[in-house]
């Protein structure tokens, strides 16, 4: 019985991943136990290490091991420009374009009332404090061009403008409904260069 419950436990744990139902979880579990025990050990070890070591940067909220991430510590970057993105994947997409040399603030999500995600969950207060520190001159909103990304940009624009912060939004070269991490680099680079006042 113990073996069966360990297998059930594994399937149950795998089902916590987004988009993984009971069938997929079962297939993954059987595959690892039957064909790739070494891979399973690697996965187990990598998960253990990541969960134990990775935390949020104190300044920009992205994932990091030290308390402040490498990007925030890089003094060759323009600390007067702060680019706001939804996820570390979106941040990477912008980094790959090499069109932006400022700093970032990673929301680690978006405002989504249906999922119970409000302004507090994206660190709005912290972003406002950061943007009004006297060093930041421009906040560039690079949230996705989805309904939720646009709604988030709207809330951020209102809150930041009240504090007298200059706010810009990526230009409309990025297709409506799209997420930055899936947009080609040239399009993102143009959208960054042609950003407009929000
Ligand atoms: Zn950082």
Ligand 1 center to residue 166 CA distance, Å? 21
Tokens for 10?
């594994």
pLDDT by residue (tens digit) across 132-164?
Answer: 989 999 999 999 988 899 999 999 999 999 988
Q: How far is CA 71 from CA 77, 78, 104, in A?
A: 8, 11, 8
Distance CA 20, CA 78 (A): 41
pLDDT reported for residue 3: 58
Q: Is the pTM of this model over 0.85?
A: no
User: What is the 197 CA–ligand 1 centroid distance (Å)?
Assistant: 25
Q: Where are the beta strands (DSSP E) in the chain?
A: 55-56, 63-64, 78-85, 102-106, 138-141, 166-169, 196-197
Per the CB < 8 A criterion, the answer to whether 140 and 83 are in contact is yes
Give the pLDDT score at 63: 95
User: How does residue 173 score in pLDDT terms, banded at 50, 70 and 90?
Assistant: low
Query: What is the Cα–Cα distance from 153 to 149, expressed in whole angstroms?
Result: 6
Predicted pLDDT at 30: 96
- Examine the pLDDT at 193 and tell me if it is beyond 90: no
Q: For position 197, what pLDDT does the model report?
A: 85
Q: Say what the pLDDT of residue 2 is.
A: 57
- Model confidence pLDDT, tens digit, residues 14-39: 999 999 999 999 999 999 999 999 99
Q: What is the mean pLDDT of residues 34-47?
A: 96
Does residue 42 have a pLDDT over 80?
yes
Band (pLDDT 50/70/90 cuts) for residue 83 is: very high
pLDDT for 160 equals 93
8 Cα–ligand 1 center, Å: 39
Question: How confident is the model over 65-82, as pLDDT tens digits?
Answer: 999 999 999 999 999 999
pLDDT tens per residue, range 100-126? 999 999 999 999 988 888 888 899 999
Ligand 1: distance of its center to the CA of 57 in Å? 5
- Alpha carbon of 73 to ligand 1 centroid (Å): 7
Closest C-alpha among 141, 127, 133, 139 to residue 86:
141
Percent of the chain predicted with pLDDT > 70: 96
Mean pLDDT for 86-103 is 94
| Mean pLDDT, rounded, for 79-106 | 95
């Amino acid at each position: 019985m113990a073996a069966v419950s360990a297998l059930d436990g594994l399937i149950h744990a795998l089902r916590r991943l987004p988009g993984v139902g009971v069938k997929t979880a079962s297939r993954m579990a059987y595959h690892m136990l039957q064909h790739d025990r070494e891979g399973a050990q690697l996965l187990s070890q990598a998960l253990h290490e990541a969960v134990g070591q990775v935390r949020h940067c104190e300044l920009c909220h992205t994932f990091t091991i030290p308390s402040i991430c490498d990007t925030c510590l890089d003094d060759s970057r323009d600390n007067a420009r702060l680019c706001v993105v939804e996820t570390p994947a979106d941040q990477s997409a912008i980094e790959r374009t090499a069109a932006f040399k400022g700093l970032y603030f990673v929301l680690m999500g978006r405002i989504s009332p249906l999922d119970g995600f409000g302004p507090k969950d994206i660190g709005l207060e912290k972003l406002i404090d950061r943007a009004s520190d006297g060093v930041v001159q421009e906040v560039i909103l690079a949230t996705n061009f989805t309904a939720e990304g646009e709604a988030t940009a709207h809330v951020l624009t209102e809150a930041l403008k009240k504090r007298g912060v200059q706010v810009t939004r990526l230009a409309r070269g990025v297709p409506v409904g799209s997420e930055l991490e899936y947009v080609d680099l040239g399009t993102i680079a143009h959208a960054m260069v042609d950003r407009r006042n929000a």
